[in-house]
Amino acid sequence: MTKKKVAIIGAGPSGMAQLRAFESAERNGREIPEIVCFEKQADWGGQWNYTWRTGLDEHGEPVHSSMYRNLWSNGPKEALEFADYSFDEHFGRPISSYPPRPVLWDYIVGRLQHTDVRKYVRFETVVRFITFDETSQLFTVASEHLPSGETSLETFDHVVVASGHFSYPHMPDAPGIETFTGFVAHAHDFRGAEAFEGQDVLVVGSSYSAEDIGSQAHKMGARSVTASYRSKPMGYDWPEGFEERPAITQIDGSRVYFADGTAKDVDAIVFCTGYQHKYPFLPDELALSGPNTVYPAGLYRGVVWQSNPALFYVGAQDQWFTFNMFDAQAWYVRDLIMGVAPIPDAAERERFIEEWTALFEAIPDVTGEIVFQGEYVRDLLQQTDYPDLDIDKVVQIFISWKHDKQEDIMGYRDRRYRSVMTGTLAAQHHTPWLDERDDSIERYLAGHVDSQTGEITLPDARTLLRS
């Protein structure tokens, strides 16, 4: 019998979780399918693979990563820790709860560094179009190797879509925006707030991007930060010079008018207006669409494409749980593909979807969403051999985290949590978030603070790494 062939689209956290899931099965003596992982970028890590580029990349492809300089995790790392690879195992000592991007990138890449799964990844290779043939029950994947321009057409038994949904900006129009001559970009193309020093900055939106990019602007010395919300303000205890206003009604040159009748002259506008589910390589009958939500329609157990259960999505949800949820999904998808977990018939899947959708729709608030996603992950974990993960403790961390933010939006990243996996208490970072302008892993790991004087010593960083 020939091996099944599986195409994984994307080698970001979700695609890497899928690779890890197969690798884990192989390590346990199981024979795994033939795998091809298509990755547009030259390296793996998805969003966490920072680039200075914006818009289109060196090959003319849409830039994938929306990350910027000085981005630190906006949730405690203890809520996203892998159950099969702890922060302690990777770093060899406690680190703080809110590491900057390069540190998290190092962690997720580190888990796969000592495996051979990189051999499955075709880098700088973009999937152009996928079709499904009813007769053969096979997918044909048309891909292009970007450096050479070579096209390949290959068939697969399964496709795992792990390309993410925070890469294609939702960029609304705004009346008069064509008259604005300052800096204007979507959060996706924002790369750092240093140039906002002394400027009046407007962020449009009231979710994580607006919160953090506004905070970055404040941190980097913007003269003022205004956040414009559509439905309701974020409502944090913002520092001096940071305020919220309702929706934009008109832009006229540098002047922006708001729904409360006020106006403000600004130098820069960053649209933090979210992202689209966009899968340009999928025909409509296979493509997830709709809003960013914790329970997207059309997916059995959040991963199986209901109308064609040979197709899977990993990481398609809006996310409280992240890396560990991707793991739970990837382990389950692996077991479905390998025939270890049973796949119910369409009617049973539909019944299950309806049951969970009803639960989801009854959720009254954000805390309920977190609890719901915890239950969702727990259900997946029960289907597979992924190491045990104390969902309740993670949910508690999320709830404390939300409380921390309410208390001190500019200081919550200086707080510390205890690992659910190892019990290790996070280290106190040497520099408060508000004062730290160097997000390199070298500085992060090498810094020491004298507990008497508070002085920071930075020995040669490279020699310390992993020492």
> Are 123 and 41 a contacting pair, CB within 8 Å?
yes
- Residue 58 or 390: which CB sits closer to a second copy? 58
Task: Fill in the amino acid letter for 454.
Answer: G
* Cβ proximity to a second copy, 51 vs 249, nearer residue: 51
Q: Does 195 bind a second copy (CB under 8 A)?
A: yes
| Nearest CB to a second copy, comparing residues 49 and 97 | 49
Taking contact as CB under 8 A, which single stretch among the options 104-112, 284-292, 297-305, 456-464 is the one that binds a second copy?
284-292
Binding of a second copy by 144 (CB under 8 A): yes
Binding positions for a second copy, 163-182, rule CB under 8 A:
168-169, 171-173, 177-178, 180-182
Separation of alpha carbons 258 and 245, rounded Å: 7
Provide the mask over 242-281, with x wherever binding to a second copy is found by CB under 8 A and - wherever it is not. -------------------------x--------x-x-xx
The Cβ of residue 354 has, within 10 Å, a number of other Cβ atoms equal to: 10
DSSP letters, 112-154, are HHTSSGGGGEETTEEEEEEEEETTTTEEEEEEEETTTTEEEEE
For residue 356, the 8-state DSSP code is: H
| The amino acid at 119 | K
In 3D space, the residue among 139, 448, 164 whose CA is nearest the CA of residue 308 turns out to be 139
Q: Does 154 bind a second copy (CB under 8 A)?
A: no
Cα gap 434→442, rounded to integer Å? 19
Q: List, in sequence order, every residue forming a beta bridge with 130; answer none if it has no partner.
A: 141
Q: Which helix (H) or strand (E) holds 441?
A: helix 441-446
Q: How far is the CB of 328 from a second copy (least distance, A)?
A: 28
CB 150 → a second copy: shortest distance, Å? 5
Residue 188 engages a second copy in binding (rule: CB under 8 A): yes
Of 173 and 361, the one with the shorter C-beta distance to a second copy is 173
Handedness of CA 292, 77, 418, 109 (dihedral sign): positive
Look up residue 444 and give its two tokens.
């992060």
Closest distance to a second copy from the beta carbon of 131 (Å): 8
56 near a second copy (CB under 8 A): yes
Tokens of 112: 């796969």
Residue 461 is a binding residue for a second copy (CB under 8 A): no
**C-beta of 251 vs 397, nearer to a second copy:** 251
Other Cβ atoms less than 10 A from the Cβ of 416: the count is 15
Listed in sequence order, the residues at least 6 apart from 306 whose beta carbon sits closer than 8 Å to its beta carbon are: 298, 299, 300, 346, 349, 350, 353
CA 244 to chain centre: 26
- Stretch touching a second copy by CB under 8 A, among 111-119, 189-197, 231-239, 379-387: 189-197
Residue 42 within binding range of a second copy, rule CB under 8 A: no
Among 2, 28, 29, 52, binds a second copy (CB under 8 A): 52
By the rule CB under 8 A, 393 interacts with a second copy: no
Is 251 within 8 Å of 179 (Cβ atoms)?
yes
> What's the closest the beta carbon of residue 276 comes to a second copy, in angstroms?
5
- Within residues 60-99, the interface with a second copy by CB under 8 A covers 60-63, 69
Question: Is 157 or 439 the residue whose CB approaches a second copy more closely?
Answer: 439
**Binding region for a second copy (CB under 8 A):** 52-63, 69, 126, 128-129, 131, 142, 144, 149-151, 153, 168-169, 171-173, 177-178, 180-186, 188-189, 192, 194-195, 267, 276, 278, 280-281, 283-285, 287, 289
